[in-house]
Amino acid sequence: MNIRKARPQEMDSIMDIIAHARSIMRANGNASQWINGYPSRELMLECLDKGELFVCISGREPAGVFCFAVAEDPNYNKIEGAWLNEAPYGVIHRLATNGQIRGVAAAVLDWCFEQHPNIRVDTHRDNTIMQHIFEKMGYSYCGIIYVSDGTPRLAYQKVP
């Protein structure tokens, strides 16, 4: 599997992957994450324009998509709990797969950690699939953060 920056002409495939991930969330009891059109095509295009949108390529088509940046996330400034450190970190958001290839999420988490060995992530409390993946990949639960709409997310971090 190859990971690279997304291209504008891949936006339809990217949004199809997002739609698939949303349906998997619903089928697994997570009906309150990624609602009201989130993440929108406009938001994903913003990530693309910033150079923060990546795809996982298997064969010719994207099998997964995610946003990655080495930058401070304002939602992570306040945590009910404690981060493992206060060093600069990378952040992964909007990780989704088309469900056709196993191991995409693990490959993304490994790749991001190779880019920057201090990663923070968050997920919805009902997203038990992602919680399991984070824990399996060596991420430590740190506490609860609140995203911009005020809803809580479980926060995880991985350090060397």
Q: Is the pLDDT of residue 1 over 90?
A: no
Q: How confident is the model at residue 104 (pLDDT cuts 50, 70, 90)?
A: very high
91 contacts 121 by C-beta, under 8 angstroms: yes
Distance CA 117, CA 153 (A): 22
pLDDT tens column, 54-87 = 999 988 889 999 999 999 999 999 999 999 999 9
- Architecture per CATH, 2-158: 3-Layer(aba) Sandwich (3.40)
| CA 74 to the chain's CA centroid | 16
Amino acid letter, 25: M
Side-chain half-sphere CA neighbours of 104 within 13 A: 21
The whole-model pTM stands at: 0.94
Give me the pLDDT at residue 94, please. 97
Other Cβ atoms closer than 10 A to 47: 21
pLDDT tens column, 117-148 = 999 999 999 999 999 999 999 999 999 999 99
